[in-house]
Amino acid sequence: MQISRFKGLNNTTELERLEVGELEIARNIELDDRGGMRRRTGLRKIANGLTHSLYSTGQYMFGVRSQTLSYFTPAGWVAIRNLASNEPVSYTTLGARTWFGNGVDQGVLDGAAYRDIGVPVPTAQPVAVAAAGSLPPGRYQYALTFEVDGVEGGTIGSGLIDLTTSSGIDFSQIATHTGPKHLYVSGPGDDTLYRVAELDGAQSTFHLEDDDWQGRVLRTQFLTPPLPGTIYRVWNGVLYVVIGDAVLYSKPYEFELFDLAHRFLQFDEPVTMFEPMHSGVYVGTSDRVYWMAGESPEAFNLNEVTSSGAIRGTAAYVSAADLLKGSDDRHGQNARPALMWRSTFGLFSGYDGGQVLNLTERSYRINEAIKGAAFVRNESGFSQYLASLQGVVQAINV
């Protein structure tokens, strides 16, 4: 028998019914897009030890080794920070800044230098008492914020003080901070707070004499850094953080200020995939995948595109032109990236606009898997999607 073209794996058909060129098992081989077969190319070890959560910014390659976030150099791995959890780490990069998290730990890498995500929020407002001064009688609100690297953080609910006569206000027990901090006060009976003082980090008292101030309005009340999430993505000026069945999103272009009470998207199942495209976002859960059309959270329009869920960690971008070779590109998809991900029902591709295809539904299925890792590489002129899946019982490579 002569086989001129191999058709790939098929594990959904009985062995005796396989067509010529279909394979039950394919080990250490590669198939190109014309059905040619060759031995898989070899590998070269560059470092010893177990490593997971590899990610490249183009300048740095990060990974987790022995529960330590590290980056790779020609001389070996350099430790950045010990982690409390050994769960897979998600990353997202904008410019020289990378946000990361694993559901327990989170942080920001400026290049390869670690810092905490967001600006700390004071745990208590200062103590305020009436003193000498000329403020009109009335109820005043006041609040404290911290600043880090020119970024002002949020604050908790305002403190209150009632002045029964014309007075000033003495503030004490002002929390210390490693950088600048700012004090805001409202007018009598007003809900808008204005900056009245810029304090150094160690200053713990302040006297407000009168209402002769022209400070900026407090914009960050009730805003905080995000809670640690399992997926981080920056898109269209917003940082998205996935926590369980919710997707938190930051204020536009203020990537580390979150309103946890109001700015989030809620789903019915845990979110396992959140991948932006050109005109919307693919969101996968444990049971289904949605296309959210729109360019901002306020404009999103949610549509279910497949009733099978996405396996966490298996999404990867690929050239749409490689997937659509020979097809009629009526919608200009070839010029945009496509998305690939794994489900227990096969390998899926998704295109900008919400068009989804199951590439292997009739020929290949995998066992139940709880998470995985995937990437796309270009080998000898054609793209290869590689995924390693961890099932409930054992790991599976596909």
Say which CATH number the domain at 265 has.
Answer: 2.130.10.10
Distances in whole angstroms, Cα of residue 151 to Cα of each of 154, 182, 193: 10, 12, 18
Q: Are residues 231 and 85 in the same domain?
A: yes
Task: Tell me the per-residue pLDDT of 287-326, one tens digit each, with 9 for 90 and over.
Answer: 999 999 999 999 999 999 999 899 999 999 998 877 766 4
Q: How far apart are CA 227 and CA 27, in angstroms?
A: 43
The model carries a pTM of: 0.86
Residues 23-34 have a mean pLDDT of 67
Bigger pLDDT: 58 or 333? Answer: 58
Question: Has residue 379 been placed in a domain?
Answer: no
The Cβ of residue 174 has, within 10 Å, a number of other Cβ atoms equal to 22
Q: What's the rounded Cα separation, in Å, for the pair 39 and 37?
A: 7
Q: Are 381 and 26 in contact (CB under 8 A)?
A: no
The closest alpha carbon to 322, from 373, 247, 250, 376, belongs to 376
- pLDDT above 90 as % of the chain: 68
Q: At 396, is the secondary structure helix, strand, or coil?
A: strand
Tell me, yes or no, whether 142 and 18 share the same domain: no
pLDDT at residue 187 greater than cutoff 80: yes
- Check residue 345 and give its pLDDT: 84
Give dist(CA 207, CA 169) in Å, integer: 6
**Residue 214 resides in a domain:** no
Mean pLDDT of 51-66: 95
Q: Half-sphere exposure of residue 127, counting CA atoms within 13 Å on the CB side? A: 5
The rounded percent of the chain whose pLDDT value lies above 70 is 84
- The model's confidence at residue 334, banded by pLDDT at 50, 70 and 90, is low
Question: Do the domain assignments include residue 76?
Answer: yes
Burial class (CB in 10 A: 0-12, 13-18, 19+), 133: middle
Average pLDDT, the chain: 88
Per-residue tokens: 271: 């979110």
The two three-digit tokens of residue 211, written as one number: 């209402």
Verify that 197 and 298 share a domain, yes or no: no
The DSSP bridge partners found for residue 390 are: 371, 395
Q: Confirm whether 264 is domain-assigned.
A: yes
pLDDT tier for residue 395 given thresholds of 50, 70 and 90: very low
Within a domain: residue 390? no
For residue 380, tell me if it sits in a domain: no
SS3 category, 289: strand
In this structure, the answer to whether residues 152 and 75 fall within a common structural domain is no
Q: Which residues share a beta bridge with 109?
A: 98, 114
Domain count for the chain, please give it.
3
Q: What is the pLDDT of residue 149?
A: 86
With contact defined as beta carbons under 8 Å apart, do 387 and 372 qualify? yes
Tens of pLDDT along 192-204?
999 999 999 999 9
Measure the CA–CA gap between 23 and 6, rounded to whole angstroms: 8
- Looking at the structure, tell me whether residues 196 and 332 fall in a common domain: no
In this predicted model, which residue has the larger pLDDT, 336 or 308?
308
In this predicted structure, the answer to whether residue 189 has a pLDDT above a threshold of 50 is: yes
Clarify whether residues 35 and 131 are in a common domain.
no
Contact between 171 and 209 under an 8 Å Cβ cutoff? The reply is no
Are both 231 and 86 inside the same structural domain? yes
Across 21-25, 35-39, 346-350, the highest mean pLDDT is recorded for 346-350
46 domain-assigned: no
Do 109 and 133 fall within a single domain? Answer: no
CB 65 within 8 A of CB 49: yes
* DSSP helix/strand/coil, 335: helix
Helix (H) or strand (E) holding 323: helix 320-323
Residue 35 lies in domain: 8-39
Q: Which residues contact 325 (CB under 8 A, 6 or more apart)?
A: 33
281 & 252 share domain: yes
Same domain, 256 and 332: yes
Residue 383 located in a structural domain: no
- Tokens describing residue 16: 């005796």
Same domain, 293 and 262: yes
**Are residues 194 and 108 both part of a single domain?**
no
Cβ neighbors of 187 (< 8 A, separation 6 or more) are 138, 140, 194, 211
